[in-house]
Amino acid sequence: MAEKKLGGAGLRGQSAGSTALCTVGQSGTGLTYCGYDISELAEHATFEEVAYLLFNGELPDAGELSGYKERLKAFRGLPEPLKICLEQIPADAHPMDVLRTGTSVLGNLETEKNFGEQQDVADRLLGALPSMLLYWYHFSHNGERIETEVGDDSIAGHFLTMLHGKEPSADHRRCLDVSLILYAEHEFNASTFTARVCASTLSDMHSCVTGAIGSLRGPLHGGANEAAMDMIEQFSSVEEAVEGVKGMLARKDKIMGFGHAIYRESDPRNAIIKQWSKKLGAEVGDRVLYPVSEAIEQLMWDEKKLFCNADFFHASAYNFMGIPTKLFTPIFVCSRVSGWTAHVMEQRANNRIIRPSADYVGAEPRSWIPLEDR
């Protein structure tokens, strides 16, 4: 019997195709969308502008942007049969599973009949995913059937208005808008690659996005923002956090929200969301979450030379906006659906079925053994 060495090196360092959408870590730390640096986008753009950029390769002018925002706004309503399905899902379901199911149901009700409809499907998902999530959330938790066609013309404002039942503060709206920009796109990460593999079979857009949601759900990928929150909130002081994380490292536990498959020195999204976390923490008079998070960041660097990825300071920033931890990774979906669908369109535009090979490490060729002789 050959020695079994299953699994693999995670395709690290191998190019699996080309993209015009994004560069990650090309000079060690950088991140660009269609040539624009993430720090400039996070400072000046809105999420809708970034989504438009990903779909069109160019920033919109003022007229194009207001037209695009109106278009997305028109996609916030949910069809009755989808609401009925969402009402069947219990409160203790994971909201990522709700979005996976909701996307799939929408694929039955509003099937993509041909690839000429792909932009409509992408925009419909951008408009409807926050509605699905919060319709289910309020119905399952309070029995309330919320109105989903509410809020200003931004996805960030729409989300926070549905969540809290009132217009958000300017800072909260902008922080979530920046967060959606940071999460929008990241080259051939696991969930986007899932979407592209599915697209390469010429499958429909809803199937590609449903698969991508399943892939993002895991704690080694998008699920890390809520896993980081679960860890951080165990500690009530910096001293407790330092002791606790040292213990976790001694037990060789993974510390969620740290490390990255591509970046080697830092994740450029971290400094941006960290600043927002600090600002929102100060506004609510926080004396624990932010200092504890910063202490863990320092400790991880001192002990392991591991840096925070995009997810770590998202945890405290979202918490300061009153967002329940279970909704953290679903917000990532509401943003990354822009990158996923842009990648599906790019894959379709120059497609060849994605089908790598495996190194066989199983048994040598052998003869069939009849059942009675085994």
Ligand X SMILES: CC(=O)SCCNC(=O)CCNC(=O)[C@H](O)C(C)(C)COP(=O)(O)OP(=O)(O)OC[C@H]1O[C@@H](n2cnc3c(N)ncnc32)[C@H](O)[C@@H]1OP(=O)(O)O
Q: Between 238 and 261, whose beta carbon lies closer to ligand X?
A: 261
Positive or negative torsion for Cα 248, 5, 197, 102: negative
Residue 276 interacts, among ligand OAA, ligand X, none and using kind-specific CB cut-offs from 5 to 8 Å, with: none
Residues 42-71 that bind ligand X (CB under 6 A): none
Q: Between 77 and 244, whose beta carbon lies closer to ligand X?
A: 244
Residue 257 interacts, among ligand X, ligand OAA, none and using kind-specific CB cut-offs from 5 to 8 Å, with: ligand X
- Residue 24 β-bridge partners: 31
Catalytic residue among 172, 206, 311, 343: 311
Does 29 engage in binding with ligand X (CB under 6 A)?
no
Q: At a CB cut-off of 8 Å and minimum separation 6, what does 316 contact?
A: 229, 232, 277, 281, 286, 289, 290, 293
Is 260 a catalytic site residue? yes
Is 311 a catalytic site residue? yes
Please report, for residues 165, 176, 348, the alpha-carbon distance to residue 69 in angstroms, rounded to integers and kept in the order given: 21, 16, 25
- Name which position in 89, 93, 288, 306 contacts ligand X (CB under 6 A): 306
- Name which position in 83, 186, 196, 217 contacts ligand OAA (CB under 6 A): 186
d(CA 104, CA 207): 7
d(CA 209, CA 13): 25
Q: What is the CA radius of gyration of the chain?
A: 22
Does 261 engage in binding with ligand OAA (CB under 6 A)?
yes
Angle (nearest 5°) at CA 45 between 24 and 289: 75
Q: Between 139 and 183, whose beta carbon lies closer to ligand OAA?
A: 183
Does 326 engage in binding with ligand X (CB under 6 A)?
no
Catalytic residue among 172, 260, 314, 343: 260
Number of residues located near ligand OAA, criterion CB under 6 A: 7
Does 335 engage in binding with ligand OAA (CB under 6 A)?
no
The residue with tokens 């998008």 is: 222
The residue with tokens 């996609």 is: 75
Q: Between 136 and 258, whose beta carbon lies closer to ligand X?
A: 258
Task: Determine the residue type at 371.
Answer: L
- Name which position in 123, 204, 311, 346 contacts ligand X (CB under 6 A): 311
d(CA 346, CA 196): 9
- Name which position in 192, 200, 309, 319 contacts ligand X (CB under 6 A): 309
Positive or negative torsion for Cα 202, 207, 212, 214: negative
Does 310 engage in binding with ligand OAA (CB under 6 A)?
yes
Nearest distance from C-beta of residue 197 to ligand OAA, angstroms: 15
Only segment of 192-200, 303-311, 316-324, 354-362 that touches ligand X (CB under 6 A)? 303-311
3-class DSSP state of 39: helix
Residue 141 interacts, among ligand X, ligand OAA, none and using kind-specific CB cut-offs from 5 to 8 Å, with: none
3-class DSSP state of 86: helix
Residue among 58, 325, 49 at smallest CA distance from 184: 49
135 contacts 150 by C-beta, under 8 angstroms = no
Does 189 engage in binding with ligand OAA (CB under 6 A)?
yes
235-274 mask for ligand X (x: CB under 6 A)? -------------------xxxxxxxx-------------
d(CA 319, CA 257): 15
Please give the residue ranges that form the binding site for ligand OAA (CB under 6 A).
24, 186, 189, 261-262, 309-310
Residues that bind ligand X (CB under 6 A): 220-222, 224, 254-261, 306, 309-311
Which amino acids are annotated catalytic? 260, 311
